[in-house]
Structure formats: structure tokens, C-alpha cells
Amino acid sequence: MPLLLSDDLSARRRSARLRLASALAVALFGVTICRMARLQLIEHDAYAAKAEAQHTHRVILEPQRGRIYDRNGFLLAGNRSVVSIEVYWPNVPVGSEAQIDSLCLRLSAAGAEASSPDRTGRNQILARDMPYEQALGIISGPLPRGVNWTIGARRTYPLGDVAAAVIGRAGTGGTEGLEREYDGLLSGTAGVRFVERSAFPGMSVTDPEADNIPPVDGADLRLTIDARFQCIVQSELEAALEMSGGSWAAAVVMDPDNGDILAMGSCPVRTDNGSIDMNRCVESMSEPGSTFKIVTLAACLQESLVALQDSFDCSRGIIEVADRTISDCHTFGTLSVRQIISNSSNVGTIRLVSLIPDSVFFDYCRSFGFGAPTGIELPGEQWGILRPPSEWSGMSKASMAIGQEVAVTPLQLARAFCVIANGGRLVQPRLVEASNTSSHWRSWAVFPTSQVLEASVADTMRSVLATAVESGTGTTAAVAGVTVAGKTGTAERLGFGRGAYLSAFAGMIPAEDPRLVAVVIIDRPGYIYRFGSTLAAPVFARMMSRILATEPELAFGGREPGSQQSWMALR
């Protein structure tokens, strides 16, 4: 066998080495291609997001919450721009934690309630709801990597707590009142903006290729509330509650023609823990006392069971009903129907209600809106208590006629007196007059009404209630320069022990053509203030006097002079 020459051996080795190098090159190229395919196809989104996060950040654009105005355009609830600053710890480079500590010190120096850095979590709020003016110096400069900020709004209430029982509150702790009832309409829809970090400190631009979504602001609301009347009502209630030592107080002022709530006061406004207390006008129910006697009078007149001049013997001042004795505060003798109501005779009222069949009396109670919700746009409304005749005892009808064994809310009582004020129609109360979206105000419909009494019967009842203020139990409700029609109420608060009473007054002005109906209730005042004539009626007079000083034209009715003369003839 011939020996191979060294040159032949070197050529073979070179060829093998070339083949091996080529194989390795192909393998390495294959691995590179696979790795690139993995990066470009399988892990593309993850790495693209990581790259995006290094030079852009996502800003949540909170919509502006809709504002709330009173009927005259006065701002009741608005917004103030605030900034929240947060850190996403996974994006903070190792070794740069000191920059976060320095940022927290700057936030504290700017007046923010800054949190201490806590690296145990992923996302941490460093400062929440910082006023924009205070935060501007911080967010306008460079921020550490991993730190983002959002602009939002904090709710502001120019009247403070004056209208809190109606409007409620909106914030991080939740929503209450109208803010809660119309949260979907007021809140709007959040947007998103992606911002590119610039190489120049303090400069950034919106990423035009990102999926930026503009926010949609919430709708504005215009209420039926008059801020001037609201301030008057609330201040008078608070003064009366403090003077009398009562448990709570409530007042409603309504436009009897359409059910608009012009003022709704409730106090105390706050609970012991600082949260907003219940709105007593819709969430508290109590015995109405003698204010409920209007139902008995209405039923007797509408059913033609009595005339105003008819007389009833009330001379003993007491009357036996079932196994109980009901009495008057005074012995009146013989009283006409007008005098029974104006002097608030329990005995006379029970004699009147005895003329009415049980089912008919119950139907009139329901037709005045008692025992059913009013439909007001507020959460937590109580229905009151009105039991059907099948559940009555031998005492029930007599007790109900004088305002016991029945419970009503202040708003239900005001609604019932609107029936007398507007010619016999039952209106549905409302708080929202209009809403504004896209710079266009849309008026909300006034709810349909039902006819409860003939207009002539309502006129007659107003004349009786005017007598009650002129010479009966309601003289302390008189308002200078205007005729007042109304009814006092003093109710024993069952279940609260001896000496617990409710002082109430419901009235309207001017009596010949009412423009305003108002109800004032103070629960469990000091014993000397228990009568409606002693406490609630004078509060009504002060409220109406101040309101008329603000809007003098309310003292004048809209009827023709002949109609007013006809009404005066009823008296």
C-alpha cells in the first residue's frame, strides 16, 4: 500500500475542518434564526411592551364629574383639579431607590400627605389627591423611572354642609344623596393617554400612534333647589334645634303647582363619626299629629257629608272611643266645622270622622299620598305607615283622624298640603329640573298629577286653614303682609317614653293662591316646646318672612282679582 504524501493529508484535513466549520456555522445560524423567530413571533409583545415602558408611560385621564347647580345657576357641587402620584416598583432600576425617597421628601415639603416608600408591593400610591397647584412643580420636572402621575378632580361644595342632606357627597369613600342617585350620569367615562419621555428633562409628548382614548365628562345637573331658600331653611332649623334641645329637625319648601322642591333642610347634618346623617325629610317617619286632620276635613267636604257652618257638640272636651278616652286641651263647647279645625279639636275631629265609612277614609288617606313613596330622587325614602281597615282596632280610625296610629315623612306631609294649595291635585315631588350634555340643557319632564279634590273643596279648605292662622292654634305662624293658611300639629311620640312629643306645622302662602308650601317638624324638643304652636309655627313664620324678603313677588298670587274675591267670600 503506497504511503500518503503529507500534502495529500493536509488537503484532507483542511477539507474536514471546512466541513466542520460549515456545519457549525449552519447550526449557529439556525439557532440565531430560531432565537430571532422566538423574539419576533412568540415573545414580541412582551419585549415590545417592555421597550415601550422604558420610554412611555400610561396616564389615566379621569373625566370631569358633572357639576350641580341650583335653579338660578348657583354652583352647588363642582370640581377642583388634583394629582395622584404612584410608583410601580418592578420598573424602578436597582440602586435608584434613593430617588424615590427624595421624591417623597419633596412631596411632603409641597404639602402632600405622602406615603413612606414600601417596596414589598408592586404598585404604591405616594400621594393622593394633591392640589394641582402644589403638584405642578413636581410633575413638570423629571421624575424617577417607574413613577407615574394622574390628574383627577376632587369634589367641592361651595355651600359646605348647607345642602349636604340633598346633594350628599362624592369621593373616595363612596357617594351619598343625589351624587349617588345620579352617579352614572355625573361620573362620565375615563380616558387613556400614552406619553413619550423625551431625552430633554421635563419634556414629554403624547404618543400619536398609541391608542389614546379621550375622557367623556359627566353631565351637569340643574336642581329645583333655590340656594338662597336652602340657606334660610337650614339656618332656621339649626337654631330651633339648638334652642329646643330636640332630637332632629326637618323642613321642606315646595312649589305646589309642579312639585319642585325649593328647599329641603335636615339637621343634624353630620353623625358623631363625621359622615353625613340621614335626610330626615325622606328617611324619618313619625306621627303627624293634628296636621293629619286635613284628611278628615277633605273627605267630609268632598263627600258632602258636612258644611262649614254645621255644628257639633264638643262641650265636655272628652269623647269615649272603644276602651279609651280622648280629650281636648281646652273645653270649647259647641263648634262649627271651621272651628273644629281652626281650634284643632280632637273631639270634634273624631265626631267628623265617624261620619265617614272606614274604607272611604282609608281611600282618602291613600289619595293624599300617605302610605306610599313619593318617588323623590333620593335613596332611602321611607313609605310611612298606613294600615288598611282590615288591620284596624276599635280605636284606629279615631286615632288616625287626629294623627296617631299613622306615620308619615315630612315630604309626604308637604305633598299632601300641596293638594290643598294647588286646587286639589296630587303632585310628585322632584329635585332635578334639567341636565346638560354637550353644552345643551335638556329640561326634565314634570310628572303627571292626579285629581284628589274638586278645586272648590280645596278653596274651602284653604279658607279654613287661613282661619286657623288668623284666630286659631296657628297664630304664631302669621307672616306680616301676606295671608297664611296652615295647621299646627302636636304628636305624642309613642315608644320614646313619657314627655316625648313632636312639634309640627304645615302651611302655605299666600292663602288665596299659594306659591309656597312648607312643613316644619322638630322631633322630641324640650317639654315646654312640644306644641306645634310654640315651636314649629314660629320657625315657619321666620322662614317665610326671610324668603319673602328675598323674593317679594312670591307674596302675590296669580289669580284674577275676581277669583280672589270669590275665595274671600268663602271666609
For residue 487, the domain's CATH number is: 3.40.710.10
| β-bridge mates for residue 413, sequence order | none
Q: Identify whether residues 208 and 164 lie together within a single domain.
A: yes
- From the list 270, 261, 267, the residue with the least C-alpha distance to 70 is 261
At residue 523, the pLDDT reads 97
Give the span between the Cα atoms of 138 and 84, in whole angstroms: 11
CATH number at residue 147: 3.90.1310.10
Q: Which of 74-88, 187-201, 449-463, 547-561 has the lowest mean pLDDT?
A: 187-201
Model confidence over 213-246: pLDDT tens digits?
Answer: 888 889 999 999 999 999 999 999 999 999 999 9
At residue 369, the pLDDT reads 97
Instruction: Please say whether the dihedral angle defined by the alpha carbons of residues 24, 26, 27 and 29, taken in this order, is positive or negative.
Output: positive
* One-letter amino acid of 120: T
Q: Identify whether residues 219 and 235 lie together within a single domain.
A: no
- Across the range 445-449, mean pLDDT stands at 84
Q: Identify whether residues 261 and 354 lie together within a single domain.
A: yes
Judge whether residue 406 has pLDDT over 50. yes
- From the list 197, 189, 237, 236, the residue with the least C-alpha distance to 213 is 189
Judge whether residue 519 has pLDDT over 60. yes
Residue 422 within any structural domain of the chain: yes
- Across the range 541-548, mean pLDDT stands at 98
- From the list 555, 541, 547, the residue with the least C-alpha distance to 475 is 541
Judge whether residue 528 has pLDDT over 70. yes
- Across the range 374-391, mean pLDDT stands at 95
Domain boundary among 167, 190, 223: 223
Residue of higher predicted confidence among 48 and 106: 106
Kindly indicate the confidence band of residue 571, based on its pLDDT and cuts at 50, 70 and 90.
Answer: low
Kindly indicate the confidence band of residue 209, based on its pLDDT and cuts at 50, 70 and 90.
Answer: low
Judge whether residue 4 has pLDDT over 70. no
Residue 168 within any structural domain of the chain: yes
Which range has highest mean pLDDT (98-112, 485-499, 526-540)? Answer: 526-540
Q: Which of 94-103, 165-174, 402-411 has the lowest mean pLDDT?
A: 94-103
Q: Identify whether residues 280 and 396 lie together within a single domain.
A: yes
Q: Identify whether residues 339 and 484 lie together within a single domain.
A: yes
Residue 461 within any structural domain of the chain: yes
Residue 257 within any structural domain of the chain: yes
Q: Identify whether residues 202 and 317 lie together within a single domain.
A: no
Judge whether residue 81 has pLDDT over 70. yes
Model confidence over 339-349: pLDDT tens digits?
Answer: 999 999 999 99
Judge whether residue 473 has pLDDT over 80. yes
Q: Identify whether residues 141 and 189 lie together within a single domain.
A: yes
Residue 103 within any structural domain of the chain: no
At residue 562, the pLDDT reads 44
Residue 468 within any structural domain of the chain: yes
Place of cell 340657606: 231
- Across the range 291-298, mean pLDDT stands at 98
Rg of the chain (C-alpha set): 37
Q: Tell me the residue range of the domain where 187 lies.
A: 56-89+125-223
Whether the ω angle into residue 448 lies within 30 degrees of 0, i.e. cis, is no
Domain boundary among 223, 238, 258: 223
Residue 42 within any structural domain of the chain: no
Q: Identify whether residues 255 and 365 lie together within a single domain.
A: yes
Give the span between the Cα atoms of 232 and 253, in whole angstroms: 11
Judge whether residue 561 has pLDDT over 50. no
Judge whether residue 39 has pLDDT over 80. no
Kindly indicate the confidence band of residue 2, based on its pLDDT and cuts at 50, 70 and 90.
Answer: low
At residue 73, the pLDDT reads 96
Q: Identify whether residues 192 and 247 lie together within a single domain.
A: no
Average pLDDT over the chain, rounded to whole?
Answer: 88
Residue of higher predicted confidence among 99 and 254: 254
Judge whether residue 320 has pLDDT over 70. yes
Residue 115 within any structural domain of the chain: no
Residue of higher predicted confidence among 60 and 457: 457
Cα separations in angstroms, 303 against 218, 307, 320, 355: 51, 10, 25, 10
Which range has highest mean pLDDT (96-100, 444-448, 473-477, 492-496)? Answer: 473-477
- Across the range 417-444, mean pLDDT stands at 93
Give the span between the Cα atoms of 407 and 387, in whole angstroms: 10
Q: Which of 22-26, 102-106, 116-120 has the lowest mean pLDDT?
A: 116-120
